[in-house]
């Protein structure tokens, strides 16, 4: 499951930590949940820098 926002025909993924749309020029990352691998975790540049917690919506795994 990938959560996205569509603006003017452009699809943006949402940061798993802050729920903000991630722009293509941002230094973001995405990876499968380290616990269940069912969900793709998206992390925006700011949440990565601040080491904000993310929670997998499938298994409730928490990571930095």
Residues 8-22 as b or e (16 or more Cβ within 10 Å = b): eeeebbbbbbeeebb
Query: Domain of 45?
Result: 4-63
Q: What is the mean pLDDT of residues 20-29?
A: 92
pTM score, whole prediction? 0.81
What's the mean pLDDT when you consider all of the chain? 90
| pLDDT value, residue 6 | 61
Residue 46 CA: distances (Å) to CA of 9, 28, 38, 49:
25, 9, 24, 5
Number of domains within the chain: 1
- What lies within 8 Å, CB to CB, of 20 at 6+ separation is 14, 44
Q: What is the mean pLDDT of residues 4-14?
A: 75
H helix and E strand count, the chain: 1, 6
């Amino acid at each position: 499951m990938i959560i996205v926002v569509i603006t003017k025909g452009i699809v943006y993924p949402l940061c798993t930590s802050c729920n903000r749309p991630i722009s293509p020029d941002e230094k973001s990352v995405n990876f499968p949940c380290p616990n269940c691998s069912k969900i793709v975790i998206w992390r925006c540049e700011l949440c990565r820098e601040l080491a904000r917690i993310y929670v997998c919506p499938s298994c409730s795994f928490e990571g930095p």
